[in-house]
Amino acid sequence: MRTSPGESPRRDGHLVVEDLSAGYKKTAIIRGVDVAVSKGEVVTVIGPNGAGKSTLLKSVMGLLEPMAGSISLGGEPIGGLPANKVAAKGVGYVPQVRDVFETLSVKENLEMGGYHLRRPEVQERIEEVLLAYPQLKGMLTRSAGKISGGERKMVAIGRVLMTRPSLVILDEPTAGLSPKLAQQMLEQYVARLTAREVAVLLVEQRAREALEISQYAYVLASGEVKLESAAASILDRDDLGQVFLGRTEGAA
């Protein structure tokens, strides 16, 4: 058993990952991973460095080809599709680093987010993003490589919102931000995404803060899911510190 007492593993959701193995060259970094995310909820994946969190995200996004297992979005298989096709299916991905086009202006970054949209739609969506992130209004013509870390992350998230995605994947969005800014980022921007009926798959180092805005969580260690449970019940555990490192009593 790897679930908390009283809960069974989730198998339903908008995004369903089943028995996924993936890695680089011939070496599998994650093995037999099951993850599910529903619309309107934030699901966090936590775990120590090298656990395979980014590998999981990249496989979902189509940046890595799965070795085994299946990935589906809204019931449609997307495993093995190239990233641009996955994006076109409504998945937005914000990588941990190099998350904007640095040589392009803020506005052009947003336009690239809406690459598949028609011209009038692009303008409309930019307005929409600016409504959510009014700070960006004053810096539309600035180069995205030359703005502060927090603003940059807003551009990165704003960029993926251009397509009105059904799934947003965030790889450590608070990395490099001050604690205060990090909390603000998670509470105000990440949590609010759920109001748009978006499924959010989040990987975070700031596990406690992330769990606080999440509905459900997976603990990944050594490439396997060691624990999955409602976020709140993990937060309640006494051995929280151990859990973050992937050491749980029920570990397989």
Interface with other proteins (CB under 8 A), residue from 137, 146, 192, 208? 146
Residue 65 interacts with other proteins (CB under 8 A)? no
Site string for other proteins, 93-112 (x = CB under 8 A): x-xxxxxxxxxx---x--xx
> At its nearest, how many Å lie between other proteins and the CB of residue 104?
6
The residue among 166, 224, 249 whose CA lies nearest residue 50 is: 224
Amino acid occupying residue 56: L
Residue 55 interacts with other proteins (CB under 8 A)? yes
Alpha-carbon gap, residue 239 to 124, rounded angstroms: 48
Residue 166 interacts with other proteins (CB under 8 A)? no
User: Quick check: 225 and 219 in contact, CB under 8 A?
Assistant: yes
Alpha-carbon gap, residue 204 to 175, rounded angstroms: 8
Instruction: Work out whether the CA dihedral 213, 214, 220, 221 comes out positive or negative.
Output: positive
Interface with other proteins (CB under 8 A), residue from 3, 18, 63, 196? 63
Q: How many residues bind other proteins (CB under 8 A)?
A: 39
Question: What residues from 196 to 225 belong to the interface with other proteins (CB under 8 A)?
Answer: none
Residue 11 interacts with other proteins (CB under 8 A)? no
Alpha-carbon gap, residue 226 to 133, rounded angstroms: 37
The residue among 8, 52, 63 whose CA lies nearest residue 27 is: 52
> At its nearest, how many Å lie between other proteins and the CB of residue 141?
12
Residue 113 interacts with other proteins (CB under 8 A)? yes
